[in-house]
Amino acid sequence: MGDEDEEYEYEDVVVVEENEFQGRDAQGLKESETEPNTEEAEMKKYGLMLLVFIPVVQILLAVGVYALAAKAFKQQATYDSKFKLIQDHQLGWVYLAVYMISLMRTVLIINSNGARVPARVDRPDQHVYKIMDKDGINRDAPYVLMAGTGPQGRFNRAQRGVFNTDEALPLVLANTLLTGFVFGPVICIVLLVVMYGRMTFGFKYKEASASRGAGFMPAMIGEGIIAGLLIICTVKGLFPQITF
């Protein structure tokens, strides 16, 4: 295959056939022009992002949605009665338990992302396979990675869009059910943002890994608002004297 990209047409969809090996070294790993960050530096970066910055943004967005729905749509009395039910039946612990599970998964994501950059494994790859040939001719063979170009690459990225959504789905579903009990139709409105983001994420990811952010960001905002509303329910259930 030459360095020039070639175009192929599949059922009216034009696919640009890229150079399969551009940006990869002899082992198939992502080439790095500079020394990659250490695992510790990457974990610190993602830790600040996922355990500090994003939770703060989640709370701010959720408080804004809560205040808007409570005041503009005159839902404060309805919310207060549901918060009281949560308090009376000690359901705040249920909300807290789900949030604890979310934190557990976040820590594991930080652990994984910390190891990615030093390993020079680019997305959408999630695993690297090696031929276990200790002394034979394949001992220095390239690693086995996902096809990243042509129709196979498009399929792999489309699949990754599905799997990424699947990975987040259990917690998103649990958060939706718990917060939907209190906030009702507001959650459906927020879920429209999530749906738009996730579908855009999947279609953009199919086109190119670098394009997936256009959908990932609104999905994270929508899912973050629901997670923030879960925190509000947790706090109101365990500490009814706190007001937002």
What pLDDT, in 10s, does the model give residues 22-71? 889 989 999 876 777 899 999 999 999 999 999 999 999 999 999 999 99
What b/e string do you get for 184-214 counting C-beta neighbours within 10 Å, with b at 16 or more?
A: eebbeebbebbeebbebbbebbbeebebbee
Q: Is residue 243 part of a domain?
A: no
> Which of 27-41, 94-108, 177-191, 213-227 has the lowest average pLDDT?
27-41
pTM beyond 0.85: the answer is: yes
What confidence score (pLDDT) does residue 9 get? 56
Q: Is residue 244 part of a domain?
A: no
Q: Average pLDDT over the chain, rounded to whole? A: 92
Q: Is residue 181 part of a domain?
A: yes
Averaged pLDDT, 134-141: 91
What confidence score (pLDDT) does residue 3 get? 43
Residue 21 binned pLDDT confidence (cut-offs 50, 70, 90): confident
The Cα–Cα gap between 188 and 186 comes to: 5
Domain of 26 in residue numbering reads as 6-238
CA distances from 55 to 159, 181, 187, 223 (A): 28, 22, 18, 11
What confidence score (pLDDT) does residue 219 get? 98
Residues 6+ apart with CB under 8 A from 4: 19
> What sections of 73-149 are H helices per DSSP?
76-88, 92-119
Q: How many domains is the chain built from? A: 1
User: Which of 179, 168, 171 has its CA nearest to residue 226?
Assistant: 179
Q: Is pLDDT above 90 for 75? A: yes
What confidence score (pLDDT) does residue 8 get? 52
What confidence score (pLDDT) does residue 23 get? 86
Q: Is residue 220 part of a domain?
A: yes
26 vs 102: which has the higher pLDDT: 102
